Structure 1
Amino acid sequence: MPYALNNGIRIHYHVEGHGPALMMMHGWSDSLEDWHDHGYVDAMKSSYQMMVVDARGHGRSDKPHAPEAYAMDTMVSDMLAVLDQLGIDQTAYMGHSMGARMGYSLASIAPERITAFILGSSAPDNDRPYRYHRRARRLGYGMERYLAGVESRYGRMEPEDHRERFLANDALALSALTTAIGNSPGLESLLPNMDTPVLIYAGSEDVIHPYAQKAAESGPTASFVSLTGLDHDAAFKRSDMVVPHVEKFLASTGQ
């Protein structure tokens, strides 16, 4: 299992396929395994060298419990450590939800390393930080209690293996990360000044949809795809709907 080391923190990743480089970052509480489970790796590995990464606090990466360990510039430095270990100067980047938020930070800190951005189910603003702080407090009681609250509103998480994987998360690590996200600044001014191609997408039933669309409309190099009928989670799980847009976009950038 390959790891990149960043200031004492181990970041776990896999490399799959052959072709132009494409780094992929999952969402909050997920792991690199989700790119496999939802079909992205099988669909794209014949065309791209895919670097699927476990964000710190997730999967097999290290899981510190201090919020300062999850500052966005630190999370970005984890991704750069993976690229440096692999000897890759530039890559396209794809992120879902939290992974897309990390992508916005990557664009602000190291834009020279990225040839194109695909940012799903997220927006660069942070106008409601209290949501993250409230979630962080609930996580302090443990994953089982947190999930019980979620399932009381939305029903039982399925399939069962994904539910078990969710419960296996380190609650204190996720709480620290969530606190850090709530404390991170918004990046609304980023897209209007970017010259790197950007594809932003969101499910039409996702509450983030209008914010993601507004962000795309603010960027001269950004385009937006609305995935009809999909909510936040489905816009990640339905790789059959997402991948064609990603491949068309990357082809338009020469990748």
Structure 2
Amino acid sequence: MRATTRNPTDGTEIAYEVSGSGDPLLLVHGSGLSKGTWRGLGYLRDLERDFTVIAVDLRGHGRSGKPHDAASYQPEAFIADVFAVLDATGLGPVHFVGYSIGARIGLRIAAANPERLRTLTTIGGSFEAMTDKIALTFFPTWREALDTGGMDAFVEAWGAHRGQAIDASTALAFRQNDPVALRAYFDGIEAAEPLGLDGAAAITVPTLLLAGTDDPDRFRQSREAAKRMATASFFELIGQDHSSSLLPVDEVCDLIRTYVELQGAA
């Protein structure tokens, strides 16, 4: 089932889809991607065998509304979007699975609204400030690429910076974005106040933190957070960097499924 709802505060339309059966599990994608990324990679096919899977398009992405002002991309707006989807579906509390910015949103919800979550899985997540992180994650001249050449220029410059072409599914997701909205989104999340280690340490929701061994900042932060949190486990994804942290799909899905089952048995 594909549907939309609206953020009750600013009216931004949020697209989502629901499939499968079982306990509810919410998938929240990373920057520049969409709910279609989970289907393209095979996450939906795997997870919907055991869960009722809700996949959401973050504001500024996919089929959701795309505001052109940075102020629209603050943590409280993303959280309200997620709650609007959960309220519209009547599903919850959920097992939350978030990648990159999706993980950041999940950590904030776990800290402030733990009653909304059964478990939290973060993939390539962080609690630190995003200041200057877009340039490190993508490439230094990302603003110029978006402003002058749009999404095609962004994807091409990103691939050149990495020394290899961006994989087809990721490139397709990025090319479908609105460059003005994506610029506003990046500016907005870079300016947001971070949750911080103390905020992450206060989380009591059972949490699985996953990070690639070649993603040094998120690896360090995820391991550090797991040590400080009351109920958390850290697992390293051998040989993966930030861009490849969702791979291999079967391994990550098995980790999610096993962790959820363990928490249910506890």
How would you bin the TM-score normalised by the shorter chain? Answer: over 0.9
The aligned residue for residue 56 of structure 1 is 59
Return the alpha-carbon distance in structure 2 between the equivalents of residues 168 and 175 of structure 1: 14
Deviations 1:196-252 (A, max 9, x none): 100000111113212221122221211100011112222213211211111111011
Task: Report SS of the residue matched to 1:94.
Answer: strand
The aligned residue for residue 130 of structure 1 is 132
Which amino acid in 1 is paired with 2:147?
G
Return the alpha-carbon distance in structure 1 between the equivalents of residues 52 and 227 of structure 2: 30
Match of 2:207 among 179, 190, 198: 198
Aligned positions of 1:74-113 closer than 5 A = 74-113=77-116
Kindly state the Cα deviation for residue 161 of structure 1 after the two structures are TM-superposed. Answer: 4.8
Query: Structure 1 residues 98 and 135, CA, compared in 2 at 3 Å: closer, same or farther?
Result: farther
Aligned pair count? 254
The aligned residue for residue 3 of structure 1 is 4
Query: Structure 1 residues 224 and 51, CA, compared in 2 at 3 Å: closer, same or farther?
Result: same
Kindly state the Cα deviation for residue 40 of structure 1 after the two structures are TM-superposed. Answer: 1.1
The aligned residue for residue 178 of structure 2 is 170
Kindly state the Cα deviation for residue 100 of structure 1 after the two structures are TM-superposed. Answer: 0.5
The aligned residue for residue 162 of structure 2 is 154
TM-score, with structure 2 as normaliser: 0.89
Worse-superposed segment, 98-107 or 196-205: 98-107
Which amino acid in 1 is paired with 2:133?
R
Q: What is the identity percentage for the equivalent residue pairs of Structure 1 and Structure 2?
A: 29
Contact residue 73 and residue 109 of structure 1 kept, 8 A: no
Query: Structure 1 residues 254 and 118, CA, compared in 2 at 3 Å: closer, same or farther?
Result: same
Return the alpha-carbon distance in structure 1 between the equivalents of residues 190 and 12 of structure 2: 22
Task: Report SS of the residue matched to 1:234.
Answer: coil
Contact residue 136 and residue 179 of structure 1 kept, 8 A: no
Worse-superposed segment, 178-187 or 161-170: 161-170
Q: CA RMSD in A?
A: 1.8
> Which blocks of at least 5 consecutive residues in structure 1 are unaligned?
none
Match of 2:118 among 115, 118, 125: 115
Task: Report SS of the residue matched to 1:200.
Answer: strand
TM-score, with structure 1 as normaliser: 0.93
Kindly state the Cα deviation for residue 176 of structure 1 after the two structures are TM-superposed. Answer: 1.0
Return the alpha-carbon distance in structure 2 between the equivalents of residues 97 and 60 of structure 1: 19
Contact residue 127 and residue 194 of structure 2 kept, 8 A: yes
Kindly state the Cα deviation for residue 112 of structure 1 after the two structures are TM-superposed. Answer: 1.4
Query: Structure 1 residues 161 and 95, CA, compared in 2 at 3 Å: closer, same or farther?
Result: closer
